[in-house]
Structure 1
Amino acid sequence: MIRTEPARDGGEYDQLSGFLDFLREAVELKCAGLTDEQARRSLVPSELTTIAGLVGHLTYVEHYWFEVVLDGRPNRWAARLDRDPDAEFREALTVPLGDLVAGYRAQCAVSREIAAKLEPESRVPFRGGSINLRYVLIHLVEETGRHAGHLDLLREMIDGRTGE
Structure 2
Amino acid sequence: MPDMVNPETRPEPPMTGSERDQLNGFLDFLRSAIVLKADGLTDEQARAVHVPTSGHTTIAGLVGHLTYVESYWFSVVLGGQEDPWRERFKEDPDAEFTAAASVPIAELVAAYEAECQTGREIVAKLDLDQVITFGRSREVSVRWVLMHMIEETGRHAGHLDLLRELTDGRTGE
- TM superposition score normalised by structure 2: 0.93
Identity %: 60
CA distance in 2, matches of 1:11, 1:71: 23
2:155 paired with 1:146:
yes
CA distance in 2, matches of 1:153, 1:65: 26
Deviations 1:54-106 (A, max 9, x none): 00000000000001111110001101111101000011010000000000000
Deviations 1:100-148 (A, max 9, x none): 0000000100000000001110111034241111000000000000000
2:20 paired with 1:9:
no
Report the 3-state secondary structure (helix = DSSP H, G, I; strand = E; otherwise coil) of the residue aligned with 1:88.
helix
**Aligned residue in 1 for 2:118:** 110
CA distance in 2, matches of 1:124, 1:133: 7
Equivalenced residues, count? 164
**Aligned residue in 2 for 1:26:** 33
**Aligned residue in 2 for 1:37:** 44
Map 1:1-164 onto structure 2 (within 5 A): 1=6, 2-44=9-51, 45-126=53-134, 127-164=136-173
Name stretches of at least 5 consecutive residues in structure 1 with no aligned partner.
Answer: none
Name stretches of at least 5 consecutive residues in structure 2 with no aligned partner.
Answer: 1-5
List structure 1 segments (4+ residues) > 6 angstroms apart after TM superposition: none
CA RMSD between the two structures: 0.8
